[in-house]
Amino acid sequence: MNFSGKNNRPDIYALVALLTLMLIYICSFVDRQIIAVLASQIRVDLNFTNTQVGVLYGPAFSLVYAFCGIFMGRMADRFSRKYIILSGLFIWSMMTFASGFANSFAFLVSARFAIGVSQSALSPSVYSLLADYFNPKHRARVFSVYASGIFIGVGLSFLIGGTIAENYDWRIALKSVGLPGVGLAVLGYFLLKEPSREKSENVGVPDQSFFEVLSFILKKPTVRYHLMGFSLLALSGYSILAFIGTILTDVFESSNLISSYGWFMFATGISVNLSGWMADKLALKFGEEKRFISGIVAALGGLPFYFFGLFAETALLGLILIGIANVISSSYNGVAAALIQDFVGSKMRGVAGSVYLFVVSIVGFGIGPPVTGWLMDNIFIGSKGPSQAMFSVFLVCGILATACFLKAMRSYEVDRV
């Protein structure tokens, strides 16, 4: 079912639903990112290492998030996406609140596990809903509006969570950002509708098993290059989010600037939308495979800014340049989520979205922060060690991701549905 009005434009309900889903996504990233914002305080208070912080921010959340997301995607293709989303929202909000009572690594890891399970319910269902609500020619822009919630949420976690932590402590910050999600779940109950499913066009039929659906998706070379390329970008993106506080504190000795990084997250939300707009324009004029150019821009465009920012002479200059780099390098998020939908039928959207989230989570969230933390603790030692570790990650990921996107463009027409 497509909520399109005259001239194939989205109707009012579709736009209201999109806004509601974006607000829920914002909430999810406030609760997901807040641990990294508070990392310096938590590390000192509970005597953690950088590696433990990386594990807490990354694998403790991402592994369960990724594996459960696969099953949540299958559920999204079979059951009410509305109730899957709202149940997850309520649970992760309460678990973020409970994290404020943590007194050990095990307590925080357990809470992060629960947040990971509940948040895995969100995006597979949302991707499926948005694909039903909107015409495919608007897909990159629509998915980019939703994806901009990532950076609004991250920005709010820095500004709100960081400010509360500076004035009170990290425990009060966790409790404060957890509770608003409960009210949002009530609001979502009244604003979201469950649309009817479109009939399948000879793919993704209901009686296919999960593994048959998974095989159909992964046997396509374009999908594999897509997943490899965007997961590498996620690896570098989640690593800077995990350790920007460490860089500002340990390299520049300016912990008071951490909350200011949130403003660049808001700017990144804008760049995500611009990237989606650009991708749809490129597709219209030069061919739909050219949407992958947005990934190449993200992979390479931020590298000079990261280099000069990470090794800047002053903390303020470093903050500005790193922030600009993040605005560019994270602009791909909406396009990546939209592109995966080009290769599946309407009955496979939930699984396709969950496969994308699985790979991005395992590689980006699960591998990136702990490996980067390990590099900081063991390989790149010294006052500039965190900067050296971060730029090494950016450079390798940017080059490899670009190669993947060039390959994906060559096989796009053969693999699209």
In a domain, residue 2? The reply is no
Q: Say which CATH number the domain at 36 has.
A: 1.20.1250.20
Residue 3 lies in a domain: no
DSSP string, 334-388: HHHHHHGGGGS-GGGHHHHHHHHHHHIIIIIIIIHHHHHHHIIIIIS-STTHHHH
How many structural domains are present in the chain? 1
Specify if 374 maps to a domain: yes
Tell me whether residue 79 is in a domain: yes
Residue 203 covered by a domain? no
pTM: 0.76
**Region of 393 on the Ramachandran plot (φ > 0 left; ψ -120 to 50 alpha; else beta):** alpha
> Which of 256 and 367 is assigned the larger pLDDT?
367
Q: What pLDDT score was predicted for residue 298?
A: 95
Spatial CB neighbours of 111, under 8 Å, sequence gap ≥ 6: 95, 96, 98, 99, 102
Among residues 276, 227, 271, the alpha carbon closest in space to that of 401 is found at 227
Q: What is the pLDDT of residues 255-285, one digit of tens each?
A: 778 778 878 888 988 998 899 889 988 888 8
DSSP-assigned letters across all residues of 236-273: HHHHHHHHHHHIIIIIS--GGGGGGHHHHHHHHHHHHH
Supply the range of the domain harboring residue 395.
Answer: 10-194+210-415
Mean pLDDT of the chain: 86
- What pLDDT, on the 0 to 100 scale, is given for residue 207? 56
In a domain, 199, yes or no: no
Answer whether 177's CB lies under 8 Å from 100's CB. no
Cα 240 from Cα 244, distance rounded (Å): 5
Quick: pLDDT tens for 320-353.
999 999 999 999 988 898 898 888 877 787 788 8
Question: Alpha-carbon distance 113 to 118, whole Å?
Answer: 9
Residue 250 is assigned to a structural domain of this protein: yes
In a domain, 214, yes or no: yes
What's the CA gap between 355 and 344, in Å, rounded? Answer: 12
Provide the token pair at 415: 């693999």
CA–CA distance, 73 with 250 (Å, rounded to integer): 40
Torsion of CA 266, 330, 140, 11, to 10 degrees: -20
- The rounded distance, in Å, linking the Cα atoms of 258 and 38 is 10
Q: Tell me, what amino acid is at 66? A: A
Give yes or no for residue 1 having a pLDDT over 50: no
